[in-house]
Structure 1
Amino acid sequence: MTVRHHISDDLLLSYAAGTLDEASSLLVATHLALCPHCRTRAAAADALGGEMLDALPAAEVTPDLWQSVLARTQGGPATPSAPPATALRPRSDMAIPEPLRSYLGTDLSGLRWSRLAPRVQQIVIDIPGCRPRARMLRFEAGTQVPEHGHSGRELTLVLHGSLHDRHLSMTRGDVAETDEDTEHQPRAGLDGDCICLAVTDAPLRFKGRFARLLQPWFGI
């Protein structure tokens, strides 16, 4: 497996800084588990962040700081953090790496799908308190998504099969980032079903009237 399409520098730095939402962090961490190149980039980003912290001037602290920290850890709500990425051991292309496996509880072959549209199935990943929505999408071979634009950012990570989007041909581990300036019509490859992890922070803007009428039912 060779990953050719990687996460952007901005996305990687936000992930390393812990400022990325949980749904997007889940996608980034899953990509890192599949992509040695981006794991090296992430390690460099972590090192850069450490050097920047070391360069900050020392701050004065109050005598009761330690007690305040203990009180927060013992009684306060847990602060969401980006899921860690772990390298995927060589397995079949139906394997799901951590941390995504923890959210789904099984490999791709064991997932239970619900119908989203003709030839398209989904699994919505429940992440309480997170505005962007994460979902698994399964497109039957050759399925073409209705032409659409975006009202925000969309991240798509291919986990099985292939996806063709404008000038991109993506396979397992590849990532596509789209925004408000993107209008496209992705198509699953003819070599088999395409399974993706997708994260959107706003509804899609479908071009066709029929797709727009069905959008409330799609929930995407």
Structure 2
Amino acid sequence: MNQIAHHMPDALLASYAAGNLPHPYALVVAAHISLCVECRAGFEAHQAAGGAVLETVDTVDVSDALKSDVMALLDTPTVPKPTFERAGVYPGPVMEALRGKQPRWRSLGLGVRQSILAGGSEGSVRLLYIPPGQAVPDHGHNGLELTLVLQGSFSDETGRFGVGDLEVADQDLQHTPIADAGEACICLAATDAPLRFTSLVPRILQPLFGI
């Protein structure tokens, strides 16, 4: 695997460790931690710090009913977990989201495809397949977008992103990602708001593709 150059911001690691990230972002963070030993260590440090804080908090008695409800919630897996296991290009958290199956690709045109893994009021998370040399239409962002490279690489105005690299894009970034030469670029991308395309055709097709 290439050396990872673009890591997870510490604030996102802390939010993920605290269980405060919406599911689409949590899936990207879990997948990145699965590929990046450095960020996994940072995540574990945040977990340890949180545990130390809990040990200093005074205990409060609760009713049996409330205790039962809390334990039931703890038994329900709601946050994707990092794992070093992989199936081809897909880290364990992505394979779990795919339920062990291959992505159901849908064409976006010009060879670009997507497979939506989850969507709702918290945002959406999807896999993107971009052929070598193909560009994603120039766009900005109405919210936060996390893009993790799983195969190949892409380049934009901010630099080059290879396997394991994470690009964090907000309202200030306007860019045109282009898949580099070689194998097709496969990315995991999470957003909490529609993209802001500059060209007319992508804007027209945007509601159809949910991007």
Q: How does the TM-score come out when normalised to structure 2? A: 0.90
Residues 1:126 and 2:118 are matched in the alignment: yes
Where 1:146 maps in the other structure, the secondary structure is coil
Which residue is equivalent to 2:78? Answer: 81
Which residue is equivalent to 2:107? Answer: 115
Do the aligned residues in 2 keep the contact of 1:23 with 1:130 (CA within 8 Å)?
A: no
Do the aligned residues in 1 keep the contact of 2:128 with 2:189 (CA within 8 Å)?
A: yes
Distance 1:60 1:20, change over 3 A: same
Q: Percent identity?
A: 40
Q: Deviations over 1:162-213 (max 9, x none)?
A: 1112132111111001111111111101112110000010000111223222
Task: Give, in whole Å, the separation in 1 of the partners of 2:208 and 2:35.
Answer: 33
Do the aligned residues in 2 keep the contact of 1:132 with 1:201 (CA within 8 Å)?
A: yes
Do the aligned residues in 1 keep the contact of 2:122 with 2:192 (CA within 8 Å)?
A: yes
Task: Give, in whole Å, the separation in 2 of the partners of 1:173 and 1:71.
Answer: 38
CA shift for structure 1 position 111: 3.4
CA shift for structure 1 position 73: 4.6
Which residue is equivalent to 1:27? Answer: 28
The number of aligned residues is: 210
CA radius of gyration, larger in: 1
Q: Which residue of 196, 204, 208 corresponds with 1:213?
A: 204
Distance 1:175 1:162, change over 3 A: same
Where 1:205 maps in the other structure, the secondary structure is strand
Task: Give, in whole Å, the separation in 2 of the partners of 1:7 and 1:50.
Answer: 21
CA shift for structure 1 position 160: 0.4
Q: How does the TM-score come out when normalised to structure 1? A: 0.86
CA shift for structure 1 position 44: 0.8
Task: Give, in whole Å, the separation in 1 of the partners of 2:118 and 2:159.
Answer: 29
Q: Which residue of 96, 102, 105 corresponds with 1:102?
A: 96
CA shift for structure 1 position 59: 4.1
Task: Give, in whole Å, the separation in 1 of the partners of 2:189 and 2:96.
Answer: 17
CA shift for structure 1 position 47: 1.0
Tell me which amino acid in the other structure corresponds to 2:115.
I
Which residue is equivalent to 1:148? Answer: 139
Distance 1:72 1:37, change over 3 A: closer
Do the aligned residues in 1 keep the contact of 2:24 with 2:118 (CA within 8 Å)?
A: no
RMSD, matched Cα: 2.3
- 5+ residue gaps, structure 2, are none
Residues 1:68 and 2:62 are matched in the alignment: no
Task: Give, in whole Å, the separation in 2 of the partners of 1:71 and 1:47.
Answer: 25
Task: Give, in whole Å, the separation in 2 of the partners of 1:71 and 1:82.
Answer: 18
Task: Give, in whole Å, the separation in 1 of the partners of 2:159 and 2:175.
Answer: 11
